[in-house]
Structure 1
Amino acid sequence: MSTQITIRDVAARAGCSIATVSRVVTGNGPVSEEMRRRVVEAALTVGFPLARAFPETRPVISILVPSLTNPVFAAAVAGIEQRARTAGMFTILGQSNYDPAQEEDIVTTLIGERPVGMIMTVCDPASSVALHRVRKAGLPVVTIYNEDTPEGVAAVMVDNRSAIRRAAEDLIALGHRRILFLAGKFISSDRSARRYEGYRDAMAAAGLTAAPAIEVDFIDATRDIDLTEVLVEYRPTAIMASNDLLAFTVIASLRRAGLSVPEDVSVTGFDGIDFARLISPKLHTIQQPSQVMGTLAASLLLDMAAGHKAPQRLCPDAIPLPGETIAPPRRGEPPLTLIPTEKRKLRQ
């Protein structure tokens, strides 16, 4: 016969009084942030149904995103906040910097805020401890952008693999054969990994050899990438970046190497952020309807919290945005003699 977990077990695990646990659960009375975190972690560890123990949730939706430096996440947050306001609610936001360990820490804090539920983008939903903690706490949860979510988890996402495959097929149709894929580290983003799979699908279907992905740090790589060694080794006629911010950095790196886009090397992105339409030449990319996705995620979460809907998976279309950064490959080899002689290591 199983033993029922009680508030006493939580207090013993957290090393505090039962009264302190009660203050965390009810939100009544002063509790330090450190103690709140300890109580939440203890409740999750011993299996105490923390969310169901809340006598009253706050009118808050908790949000976890990898980074607000990428406008695609800012747009989603805007959609969530707009829907939350119409429901008379507020939002609390945390960012993980594409780090699974930071996801865990931030989620613990967000659970302690007693929200009605949580909307989150995690590095890898299949192995995410943060996502597991939210589910264990009994909170309604919707992932946004993540595809391979566990059974029973609501999700709003696009089909990254098929969208990138179509983009790669467009490059192949133009005559490109040496195509590289530059991606944010797969351990930090299931989206990045799925997009690389789409690139490989297109290359295999065309009888071409897919090059190993060039994996870079999402945060560092948006500041600078030196592609000198990559260009010398592979001599690509096209480079596909796993998001628009990385595509911008690729273009800057190619220009420093004395190469023109798209005359010497074509470049594509993914996300369709507004800035992609403002640069010259305009970036050839794929648009995710991010603000709409945020609104859908918030609506789904509120319906789940009210008991009106079971978890669902929504997949709006990703929209190709033709740009000016792709063209048929130049005949002959790219003029790599213009590449600077001083080499800096590609940031991994």
Structure 2
Amino acid sequence: MVTLQQIAFHAGCSLATVSRVLKGDGPVSAEMVRRVRRAAAELGYRPPSSAGAAGVRTRPVVGVLVPSVTNPVFAASLAGIQHRLQAAKHGVLIAQSNYNPASEAAAVAALLEQRPTGLILTLCNAETSRALSAALPPTILLNNRPVARFPSAVTVDNHRAGYEITRHILAHRHSRILFVSGYFTSSDRARLRYEGYCAAMQDARLAPFPAMEIPFVHGYEHLELAGVMERHRPTAIIASNDLLAVGVMAALRREGLSVPSDVSVAGFDGIAIGRLMNPTLTTMAMPDTDMGVAAAAMLLDIAENASECRHLCLDHRLYLGETVRAVS
């Protein structure tokens, strides 16, 4: 069994410094953190589980927090994370926030009880999340932009994606485009996509509509569009994700409107159900599985090889479905 004393000797530092680094508690320079983690990795050290017997090695695990395990986007990311970590003989612990910022800190605390090698977190808003106030092991933000304390992140450019899909609809001569979204307080991804929409509308010298915000949980099935359709008379609707786009199309049918003959619809994510629909959904496809793989690989590299923190931004792409038509 590798001891903390051996790590301290290998890293050329004190036992107290090793303890602070491995617990993530107390002031330690970035260089010393890298030296201690590299020494621990080279010696094959694994932190003991709080539930296991003293001195008994357990299978290392990584904690993952996502807003929802039922959303196909996060399910795809989890599949990528698990695939990469299984190859490294790591287990995966999963927690979900249900799009509730107030529950994130408790979910992360539960993951930390299992002494994970590190964490992969998709937060409602990384800038304001209380989950990041705790002393954390190596942490990768997934789908969130990096923040000062946690500069390692795997993302797509959601602002650019919102801008590009709006430009695509504008190119079909639409000028009254509505943005329907889950609450921005529950998803900074949705907010960035809306801000991209606003930028594209302003560049076209058109006034963007205020976003219609609804709950992410249980909001899609009971979506009511009658009031907003009467108020704004949009000819196209952009939904902040594909599941919501499906809900928008169902709500339009309840209003006696056809897609895309009466109203064009577009979404984000590129989930499989959009390609199985008739008409097929126009969407900005995201590399969710690849993002999960990249986040897991980056975490292992930082935790075990003491590599530098970095921000990886993957490409999105427009999927030309059949739900957007040109207006005459």
Judge same fold: TM > 0.5, yes or no.
yes
- Residue 231 of structure 1 aligns to which amino acid in structure 2? M
Q: Decide whether the 8 Å contact of 2:50 with 2:114 is kept in 1.
A: no
Q: Does residue 268 of the first structure (1) align with residue 290 of the second (2)?
A: no
The runs of at least 4 aligned residues of structure 1 exceeding 6 Å deviation read 54-57
Q: 1:215 and 1:249 mapped to 2: Cα distance?
A: 13
| In the alignment, structure 1 residue 177 sits paired with structure 2 residue 175 | yes
Amino acid at match of 1:83: R
Partner of 2:114: 113
1:237 aligns with 2:235: yes
User: Which residue does the alignment assign to 1:288?
Assistant: 286
- 2:78 aligned partner: 77
Q: Counterpart of 1:168?
A: 166
**Structure 1 residue 68, shift from structure 2 partner:** 1.6
Alpha-carbon distance in 2 for matches of 1:75, 1:252: 25
In structure 2, the partner of 1:102 is 103
Q: Deviations over 1:244-273 (max 9, x none)?
A: 000000000001100010010000000001
- In the alignment, is the contact (CA less than 8 A) between 1:147 and 1:191 conserved in 2? no
- Note the C-alpha offset of 1:211: 0.5
Cα pair distance change 1:206/1:29, threshold 3 Å: closer
Looking at structure 1, the residues matched to 118 and 56 of structure 2 have their Cα atoms a distance apart, in angstroms, of 15
SS at match of 1:221: coil
Shift of the alpha carbon at 1:153?
Answer: 2.4
Code of the residue aligned with 1:282 in structure 2: it is T
- State the match for 2:192 in structure 1: 194
Matched residue SS, 2:76: helix
Q: 1:30 to 1:316 in 2, by over 3 A?
A: closer
Q: Once the 2 structures are TM-superposed, how far is the Cα of residue 224 of structure 1 from its aligned partner? A: 2.1
CA distance in 2 between counterparts of 1:223 and 1:58 reads: 41
> What amino acid is aligned across from residue 187 of structure 1 in structure 2?
T
One-letter identity of the residue aligned with 1:239:
I
Output one character per residue of 1:77-118: Cα deviation in whole Å (capped at 9) or x when no partner: 000000011001110100100111211111001011001001
Contact 1:62/1:119 (<8 A) preserved: yes
Equivalent-residue separation in structure 1 for 2:177 and 2:95 (angstroms):
36
Alignment partner of 1:213 out of 195, 202, 211: 211
Return the offset for 1:219: 1.0
Counterpart residue number, 2:61? 60
Number of the residue aligned with 1:337? none
Residue 84 of structure 1 aligns to a residue whose secondary structure is: helix
Following the alignment from structure 1 to structure 2, what is the Cα–Cα distance between the partners of residues 29 and 200? 51
Partner of 1:20: none
Pairing of 1:132-143 with structure 2 (within 5 A): 132-133=133-134, 136-137=135-136, 139-143=137-141
Give the whole-Å Cα distance in 2 for the aligned partners of 1:152 and 1:29: 28
1:29–1:212 CA distance, 2 compared to 1 (3 A): closer
Contact 1:65-1:122 at 8 Å conserved across structures: yes
Listed one character per residue, the Cα deviations across residues 211-254 of structure 1 (whole Å, up to 9, x for unaligned) are 10111111122222010001000000000000000000000000
TM-score (normalizing by structure 1): 0.78
After superposition, the Cα gap between the structure-2 partners of 1:252 and 1:132, relative to the gap in structure 1 and judged at 3 Å, is same
- 1:309-337 CA distances to partner (integer Å, 9 max, x unpaired)? 111100110011110000012x5xxxxxx
- Counterpart for residue 27 of structure 1: 49
Give, in angstroms, the shift of residue 176 of structure 1: 0.4
Q: What secondary structure does 1:63 align onto?
A: strand
Counterpart residue number, 1:145: 143
Aligned to 1:346: none
TM-score between both structures, scaled by the size of structure 2: 0.83
Counterpart-to-counterpart distance in 1, 2:146 and 2:119: 18
Q: Are the aligned partners of 1:147 and 1:190 in contact in 2 as well (CA < 8 Å)? A: no
Q: Which residue of 2 aligns with 1:129?
A: 130
The answer for the alignment partner of 1:325 in structure 2 is 323
Task: Indicate how the Cα distance of structure 1 residues 303 and 262 shifts in structure 2: closer, same or farther if over 3 A, else same.
Answer: same
Q: Which residue of 2 aligns with 1:255?
A: 253
- List aligned pairs for 1:308-323, cutoff 5 A: 308-323=306-321
1:57 is displaced (CA, Å) by 7.8
Question: Which whole-Å CA distance do the structure 1 matches of 2:186 and 2:57 have between them?
Answer: 35
Report the secondary structure of 2:305's partner residue: coil
- Structure 1 pair 216/296, CA: closer, same or farther in 2 (3 Å)? same
Secondary structure at 1:301's aligned position in 2? Answer: helix
- Give the total of aligned pairs: 286
**In 2, distance between residues paired with 1:29 and 1:246?**
41
AA aligned opposite 2:126: P
Q: Hey, what does 1:341 align to over in structure 2? A: none
Q: Deviations over 1:252-302 (max 9, x none)?
A: 000110001001000000000111100110000011111110000000000
RMSD (CA atoms): 2.3
8 Å CA contact 1:60–1:92 kept in 2: the answer is yes
- CA distance in 2: counterparts of 1:55 and 1:195, whole angstroms: 48
Structure 1 alignment gaps of length 5 or more: 8-24, 32-53, 332-348
For 1:295 and 1:267, the matched residues in 2 are separated by 31
Query: 2:70 is paired with a residue of what secondary structure?
Result: coil
Residue 88 of structure 1: aligned partner: 89
The answer to whether the Cα contact below 8 Å between 1:143 and 1:156 also exists between their aligned partners in 2 is yes
Cα distance between partner residues in 1 of 2:118 and 2:159: 29
